[in-house]
């Protein structure tokens, strides 16, 4: 397979690959807007459906975690072996359906199921997008290429707050026809589903690129692929641990920032959704830029594991930033939240680049899928629930901010140690 890979035409430079990369960024934006849409208006859904914080943790946490755990690895294997563009289109239709079903869910169980469908489509599409991105450009420009796709992710996370909040406000004041009798948070999700369906249409014009940097055939028996994976365990285990810990901190912050602002500072979604969305987007862009440039610079440094240095530094900065929920003012909360969000964007991009540089092509989808599965189980599934359990031990729902800060500091410290270990154990890049 090495000779076959070498016979392929040289990979396109970044400028020539701009169009497909921008399209992947658009798809990622739509996916993460759908994934994060419920968090902004969850207090309204809680009031209408009579939910508790534990219900919200289940919907926001396990609603995302279960599909990640069950489907991320199978999707990753499909990414390694099948047409990734067609797979992305199918996953897009799935998250669109989940968003639409969210609007009509009559209870917590069906609302959780709808969010699961959204989670399968959104997270699976990221695996496919990162794999495609790696084959659209040369390895030495991969940090900057993945920066483009991660900017789409950052915009999606921001729009999950800003666009959903704007739609919520619009439908709060909207007087529609009698047949359109939905509450504002439900109407917002109907609108998001329609937008998603329209923005998926450009995928019909995207073409599948040739696979590069392959050590074994994409059709190789799974035992061969598993052996390649096992041989890299000393590097992958701490890399997994570091990014999962970052995801725990980021997910807990994203899930609980709206309740903290509502309960501790008396703000409504209309008052905070816009600036929280803008903050997450701005810091996501900043973090992605820093992560992409640091990854490319680290590869050129020649230092073992130099690609991961940006992740190590960002994880260390994230430890004090995790104290954002207990800042005495909204301004303090915003500053510290922005720092931890930027650090999460740095580590996420650096880890994505590391997987495409240190791992052969036939393992990338599987590795990314495994990352998402583990992060889904622990980060999405357990992190929001852990915060509610800690707040209960500290005195109840009134201690949510303090519990969020404590959990964030602990997992951020763990991520720093894990990334440092992964950097020291990094293998030689795949050629």
Confidence of residue 214 (pLDDT cuts 50, 70, 90): low
How large is the average pLDDT for residues 354-369?
A: 79
Confidence of residue 6 (pLDDT cuts 50, 70, 90): very low
**Interhelix angle 233-265/222-231, nearest 10 degrees:** 80
Asked if 199 and 331 count as a contact pair (C-beta separation under 8 A), the reply is: no
**Half-sphere exposure for 193 (CA within 13 Å, toward CB):** 23
Domains of the chain listed by start with CATH number? 19-200+224-424 (1.20.1250.20)
> Which of 118-127, 171-180, 302-311, 355-364 is the least confident region?
171-180
Residue entry with tokens 């369906």: 197
pTM of the model: 0.69
Q: Write down how long the chain is.
A: 431
CA distance to 250, 258, 293, 393, per residue, from 40 (Å): 15, 6, 32, 26
**Interhelix angle 233-265/309-321, nearest 10 degrees:** 30
pLDDT 10s digits, 238-292: 998 998 899 889 888 888 888 888 888 888 777 787 788 788 878 888 888 898 8
Q: What are the tokens at 284?
A: 């996501």
The beta strand positions in 273-422, using DSSP E, are none
The beta strand positions in 40-112, using DSSP E, are none
**Torsion (CA) 284, 290, 296, 297 in degrees, nearest 10:** -170
> Which of 29-43, 140-154, 289-303 is the least confident region?
140-154
pLDDT of residue 4: 44
Query: What b-and-e string marks burial along 391-400, b requiring 16 or more CB atoms within 10 Å of the CB?
Result: beeeeeeeeb
C-alpha torsion sign, points 15, 21, 26, 32: negative
pLDDT 10s digits, 89-136: 999 999 999 999 999 988 888 888 898 889 889 888 888 888 888 788
How large is the average pLDDT for residues 135-153?
A: 78
d(CA 135, CA 85): 12
pLDDT at 63 over 70: no
Mean residue pLDDT of the chain comes to: 83
């Amino acid at each position: 397979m090495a000779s076959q890979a070498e016979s392929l035409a040289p990979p396109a430079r970044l400028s020539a690959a701009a169009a497909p990369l921008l399209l992947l960024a658009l798809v990622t934006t739509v996916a993460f807007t759908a994934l994060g849409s419920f968090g902004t208006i969850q207090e309204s859904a809680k009031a209408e459906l009579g939910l508790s914080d534990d219900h919200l943790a289940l919907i926001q946490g396990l609603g995302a975690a279960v599909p990640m755990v069950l489907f991320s690895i199978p999707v990753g294997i499909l990414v390694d072996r099948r047409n990734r563009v067609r797979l992305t289109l199918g996953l897009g239709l799935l998250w669109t359906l989940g968003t639409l079903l969210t609007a009509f869910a009559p209870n917590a169980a069906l609302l959780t199921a709808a969010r699961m469908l959204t989670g399968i489509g959104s997270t699976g599409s990221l695996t496919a997008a990162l794999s495609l991105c790696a084959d659209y450009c040369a390895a030495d420009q991969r940090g900057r290429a993945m920066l483009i796709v991660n900017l789409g992710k950052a915009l999606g996370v921001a729009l999950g707050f800003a666009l959903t909040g704007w739609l919520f406000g619009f439908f709060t004041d909207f007087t529609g026809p009698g047949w359109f009798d939905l509450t504002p948070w439900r109407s917002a999700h109907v609108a998001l589903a329609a937008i998603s369906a329209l923005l998926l249409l450009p995928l019909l014009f995207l073409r599948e690129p040739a696979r590069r940097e392959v050590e074994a055939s994409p059709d190789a028996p799974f035992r061969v692929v598993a052996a390649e994976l096992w041989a890299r365990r000393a590097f992958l285990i701490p890399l997994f641990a570091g990014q999962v810990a970052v995801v725990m901190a980021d997910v807990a912050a994203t899930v609980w920032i709206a309740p903290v602002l509502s309960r501790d500072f008396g703000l409504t979604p209309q008052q905070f959704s816009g600036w929280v969305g803008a903050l997450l987007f701005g810091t996501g862009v900043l973090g992605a830029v820093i992560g992409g440039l640091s990854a490319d610079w680290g590869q050129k440094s020649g230092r073992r594991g130099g690609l991961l240095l940006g992740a190590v530094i960002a994880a260390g900065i994230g430890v004090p930033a995790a104290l954002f929920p207990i800042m005495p003012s909204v301004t303090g909360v915003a500053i510290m939240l922005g720092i931890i969000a930027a650090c999460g964007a740095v580590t996420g991009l650096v880890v994505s680049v590391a997987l495409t540089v240190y791992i052969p092509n036939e393992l990338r989808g599987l590795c990314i899928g495994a990352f998402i599965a583990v992060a889904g189980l622990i980060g999405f599934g357990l992190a929001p629930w852990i915060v509610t359990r800690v707040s209960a031990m500290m005195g109840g729902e009134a201690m949510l901010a303090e519990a969020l800060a404590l959990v964030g500091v602990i997992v951020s410290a763990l991520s720093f140690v894990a990334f440092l270990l992964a950097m020291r154990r990094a293998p030689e890049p795949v050629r």
